[in-house]
Amino acid sequence: MKRITLVFALLFFTILGASAQIENPVTWSYAQKKISKTEAIVYLKATIQDGWHIYSQTVKPGGPVKTTIKFNPSKDFTKVGATAEPKALSKFEKVFDMNVGYFENQVVFQQKIKLNKPATVVSGTIEFMVCDATKCLPPDEVKFSVQVK
């Protein structure tokens, strides 16, 4: 009897773990546009499933995990200014006791770069947290890489 219970428990937790991994309401895509011989813009686009949202880069301490974009250092380019984002929606969230900026459906972050050579690869990571009306998934981190030419 103990063996059957153990098998069912393992099967239950395996199925539970697999279903938790399937939930991925945000997909990322990347692009670039050269605006001159020495400058380009890197675009980082989040497509967010209906009912979900991610948070702005400007969420204050004590709030949810803000979106953080880190660019790997390179001698091939220099960041120009901060990573830009569109105007975020804002709402008061009781759990954090503060107004927070967030994005639904899709958001495109933009980073202007100065090129030190005609072609390069711009790479880095994006950390973000995605929530719906009832829950938040653990913060996630994705790697990105964009060929600028």
Q: What is the 3-state secondary structure (H, E, C) of 69-133?
A: EEECCCCCEEEEEEEECCCCEEEEECCCCEEEEEEECEEEEEEEEEECCCCEEEEEEEEECEECC
- Output the pLDDT for position 84: 98
pLDDT tens for each residue of 118-132: 999 999 999 999 999
User: Which of these, 112, 147, 130, lies nearest to 38 by C-alpha position?
Assistant: 112
Band the pLDDT of 11: cuts 50, 70, 90: very low
Q: Are 71 and 125 in contact (CB under 8 A)?
A: no
Q: Evaluate if residue 6 carries a pLDDT over 50.
A: no
Q: Evaluate if residue 28 carries a pLDDT over 70.
A: yes
Residue 80 β-bridge partners: 112
Q: Which domains does the chain have, with CATH numbers?
A: 25-148 (2.60.40.1250)
pLDDT, mean of residues 25-39? 97
Q: Evaluate if residue 140 carries a pLDDT over 50.
A: yes
Mean pLDDT, the chain, rounded, equals 89
pLDDT tens for each residue of 41-85: 999 999 999 999 999 999 999 999 999 999 999 999 999 999 999
Q: What gap in Å lies between CA 142 and CA 139, rounded to an integer?
A: 10
Query: Hunting for tokens 């390179």 — which residue is that?
Result: 74
Q: What gap in Å lies between CA 15 and CA 22, rounded to an integer?
A: 11
Q: What gap in Å lies between CA 21 and CA 12, rounded to an integer?
A: 14
Specify the pTM: 0.84
pLDDT tens for each residue of 83-111: 999 999 999 998 889 999 999 999 999 99
